[in-house]
Amino acid sequence: MVTADDPPTRLQGKYTAIAVCWFLGNGCLFAWNSMLTIVDYYSILFPRYHPSRVLTLVYQPFAVGTIATLAYNEERINTRFRNLFGYILFFLATLLVLVIDLATSGRGGIGTFIGICAVSGAFGIADAHVQGGMVGDLSFMHPELLQSFLAGGAASGALTSALRLVTKAAFENSKDGLRKGALLFFGITTFFELLCVILYAFVFPKVPIVKYYRSKAASEGAKTVSADLAAAGIQTSSDNEDVKKQERKGKKQLLMENIDYAIDLFLIYSLTLSIFPGFLSEDTGKHSLGAWYALVLIAMYNVCDLIGRYIPLVKCIKMESRKLLTTTIVCRILLIPAFYFTAKYGDQGWMMLLTSFLGLSNGYLTVCVLTSAPKGYKGPEQNALGNILVSFLLAGIFAGVTLDWLWLIGKGW
């Protein structure tokens, strides 16, 4: 019987789990960020199709539709199968990007673009499986594990941006250099996704702190962790399962009790994705950095997003007041006119400053909301709430990439 008064077991392997969560968070968004970061290559390959906007718009319906289905049925879904399916799909989809490019010899055209769009949709399905599954799973564990997973997601953006700058510089003066850089880039991404499959399948379930929290959740009636516990060599008991299931709050009640957190996440990501990456890639004008300008802006956003996700580790500056969180998030709407007038009248220094603030606030507020919301609930409820909140997060991204098209009004498309 697992008890909450067992600190040695509860904390054993904590730093190993934090490191693994960071890699798994990275793998959750590494493939998608890779596709966003090589947008300079796709913009040349498909100049008529606005790839930075279209690929994001294709990705989102699959992500939102899948997470809505999974969140509704979360208590009946095997979390281990769900997360492994997501990471394996990420691996296969990134490998397919390489196959498509090599099979077409780097030629553009509508057929190739449809193939890339199909891969984008696969990324959306994989993201919904992994992000919802992992956030739900980590919501009933130590808060630092969830923070590390979220930081890993932001780190994927920073790493892909850094890799893209390096590959662009390395191949810039060679023949077909942009394509070579993009192929190397996705080769690294494919290897990383395979690493995540191995980490989740064979390492993460056996870390003592993870086994402790999953056993504790199982003792509270959670059925989603049974396969992961079995993989770690722990058999769960079904005693009093029906009684404990009846004591669990329903999804509707959890949503009503946390509707402010859900709306907060929706607003955070609808605003961020209405600016990033489409506006930063296409609508910031001509500057002295030339072709490097969009890449530098995206890199600055990703680095600041990563920094923002570590700030809440400092307890004295972590925002936990629900009213203050909502007020701050609503005030971010002012960034829309700020970006508009900076693009029209400001120089690149001001645009970089605004982009940095966009990333910093996005990362900081995301971690504050997702680590504060699950407090006070039992394991099965925390898992359900994590899935609900990720549903609103992905819905916010979908709204943001749709609103991003409004920047094109008056520009002939």
Question: According to the model, what pLDDT value does residue 303 have?
Answer: 92
Q: Check if the beta carbon of residue 37 is closer than 8 Å to that of residue 181.
A: no
Question: According to the model, what pLDDT value does residue 312 have?
Answer: 96
Q: Check if the beta carbon of residue 297 is closer than 8 Å to that of residue 319.
A: no
- Please return the burial class of 63, using the count of CB atoms within 10 Å of its CB with bins 0-12, 13-18 and 19+: buried
Q: What is the CATH number of domain 14-235+250-407?
A: 1.20.1250.20
- Please return the burial class of 1, using the count of CB atoms within 10 Å of its CB with bins 0-12, 13-18 and 19+: exposed
Q: What is the mean pLDDT of residues 184-194?
A: 91
**What pLDDT, in 10s, does the model give residues 215-228?**
988 888 888 888 88
Is a pLDDT exceeding 60 seen at residue 80? yes
Question: According to the model, what pLDDT value does residue 1 have?
Answer: 43
**What pLDDT, in 10s, does the model give residues 230-271?**
888 887 665 544 544 447 789 999 999 999 999 999 999 999
Question: According to the model, what pLDDT value does residue 288 have?
Answer: 60
DSSP letters of 153-178?
A: HHHHHHHHHHHHHHHHHHHTTSTTHH
**What pLDDT, in 10s, does the model give residues 347-368?**
788 888 999 999 999 999 999 9
The pair phi, psi for residue 172, each rounded to 5°, is -60, -40
**Residues 96, 117: Cα–Cα separation, whole Å:** 12
Question: According to the model, what pLDDT value does residue 7 have?
Answer: 43
Question: According to the model, what pLDDT value does residue 177 have?
Answer: 76
**What pLDDT, in 10s, does the model give residues 304-324?**
999 999 999 999 999 999 999
**Residues 404, 382: Cα–Cα separation, whole Å:** 33
Position 374 confidence tier, pLDDT thresholds 50, 70, 90: very high
Position 51 confidence tier, pLDDT thresholds 50, 70, 90: confident
Is the bond preceding 208 in cis, omega lying within 30 degrees of 0?
no
HSE, CB side, 13 Å, CA atoms: give it for residue 159. Answer: 21
Question: According to the model, what pLDDT value does residue 327 have?
Answer: 97
Question: According to the model, what pLDDT value does residue 287 have?
Answer: 57
Question: According to the model, what pLDDT value does residue 284 have?
Answer: 52
Quickly list H helices, 38-109: 39-45, 51-72, 79-103
**What pLDDT, in 10s, does the model give residues 276-299?**
876 766 555 555 666 677 778 888
Least confident of 66-70, 105-109, 127-131, 397-401: 105-109
**Residues 242, 252: Cα–Cα separation, whole Å:** 20
Question: According to the model, what pLDDT value does residue 290 have?
Answer: 63
**Residues 203, 70: Cα–Cα separation, whole Å:** 25
**What pLDDT, in 10s, does the model give residues 324-355?**
999 999 999 999 999 888 888 877 888 889 99
Structure tokens at 159: 């790493």
Domain boundaries, the chain: 14-235+250-407
Average pLDDT value over all residues in the chain: 87
Report the amino acid identity of residue 363: G
Question: According to the model, what pLDDT value does residue 293 have?
Answer: 76
